[in-house]
Structure formats: C-alpha cells, structure tokens
Structure 1
Amino acid sequence: MQWAGSSSARGPVGRPAGVIDDGARDAFLDHLRSGVADAAASGGDFLLDLAAVDHMSAGALMALTIARKEAITSDVTIVLARPSPALREVLEISRYQLIFDIVDDLDGGRD
C-alpha cells in the first residue's frame, strides 16, 4: 500500500493506493487515525479517496471500522470517496454503506 495526503474544502484527504492487505492493516490504521486527527483539528470531515485502491482485505475493513469508532468520539465523519465498482461491491456486501457515506466524487456529493 502507498499513501498520499492532500486537502479539500471539506477537510483532509487520504489517498491510499494499491492493495491494502492484512500486512498493511496497521499502517493503514495509523494513516486513518492521522487523517481523523487532522479533520478534528480543522473541524472538517476526513475523505478517504479510494480511486487507486485495487483491493481491501478483511483486516483493512476492520481498520476502517476501528477508525470510524474513534472518529465518532472526535465528531469527525469519514467519507469513502470514489471506490471502483469492485471495491464498492465489497463495501456493500460488508454493509459499510450503512455506517459510512460512500460518494462518487471528492466534493462529497452523495450517491
């Protein structure tokens, strides 16, 4: 997994790329926590741009769940943006659309 960060009008943006497998879970969670902390400091949301993610393992999905629970205590919303059709299917099978906003663009427009 690779990671890059940027910002948007809505808040910080995390940009993972490649495969987020169980071996990358801890690093992924560290990046998520950092993004949530930045969003809390700026009073915005944390956007996770998934456009360059090829696959997420069950461990990576668990990291998202952990980060979401921590984000709630900081009054931060984690928004999952631009997942590929295959990744969107994984997220929907896992019912993540019930606990995350999943959007098709970085402006945060809902589907």
Structure 2
Amino acid sequence: MQWAASSSTRGPVGHPAGDIDDGARDAFLSHLRDGVAAAAAGADMREGEFVVDLADVEHMSAAALMALTIARKEAINSNVKIVLARPNPALREVLEISRYQLIFDIVDDIDTGGD
C-alpha cells in the first residue's frame, strides 16, 4: 500500500493506493489516525471531515476494513466524520456487503460529496 495526502474543500484527504492487505493494516490505521487528527485540528467548533479517496485501491482485506472501523470510532471522539470517496465498483460492493454504507458516507466526488 502507498499513501499520499492532500486537501479539499471538505478537509484533509488521504489517498491510499494498491492493495490494503493484512500486512498493511497497521500502516493504514496510522495514516487514518493522522488524517483524523488533521481534520480535528482544522475543524474548530464544527464537525470536521476526513476524506479517504479509494480511487486507487484495488483490494481491501478484512483487516483493512477493521482499521476503518477502529478509525471511525476514534474519529467520533474527535468530532470528525470519515468519508469514503470514489471506490471502484468491486470495492463499493465489498463496502456495501459489509454494510459500511450505514456507518460511512460513501461518495463519488471528493469535494462536493455528490453520489
């Protein structure tokens, strides 16, 4: 897994790429935590958002999905919402089968959140 960071009108954006397998879980979680911290620091008194751009992710293991769940729980405590953006059709299906659309916003556009 590779990782890059940028920003958008919504807040900080993390750009993982490649496979997020069991071996990449800890690094993925660390990057998610860094993004949540950046969103919390820039949010002031309103809810912050941290966007995870999944456009270049080919596969996520169950361990990677668990990392997302852990980061979400921590984000709630920091008044930050994690938004999952631009998953490919196969990854979107995995997220939906896992019912992640019930706990994350899954959007098709990084800046506006349009589906």
Note whether the superposition's TM-score is higher than 0.5: yes
Identity across the alignment (%)? 80
Match of 2:79 among 75, 82, 86: 75
How do 1:1-111 and structure 2 match up within 5 A? 1-43=1-43, 44-111=48-115
Quick one: distance in 1 between partners of 2:14 and 2:7? 8
Quick one: distance in 2 between partners of 1:57 and 1:98? 19
Deviation at 1:110, TM superposition (A): 4.1
Q: Is the 8 A contact 1:79 1:108 kept in 2?
A: no
Q: Aligned with 2:19: secondary structure?
A: strand
Q: Aligned with 1:72: secondary structure?
A: helix
Quick one: distance in 1 between partners of 2:25 and 2:75? 17
Structure 1 unaligned runs (5+)?
A: none
Deviation at 1:37, TM superposition (A): 0.1
Which amino acid in the other structure matches residue 13 of structure 1? V
Deviation at 1:108, TM superposition (A): 3.6
Q: TM-score, normalised by structure 1?
A: 0.98
Quick one: distance in 2 between partners of 1:12 and 1:37? 10
Q: TM-score, normalised by structure 2?
A: 0.94
Quick one: distance in 1 between partners of 2:67 and 2:40? 18
Quick one: distance in 2 between partners of 1:18 and 1:78? 20
Structure 2 unaligned runs (5+)?
A: none
Q: Is the 8 A contact 1:39 1:45 kept in 2?
A: yes
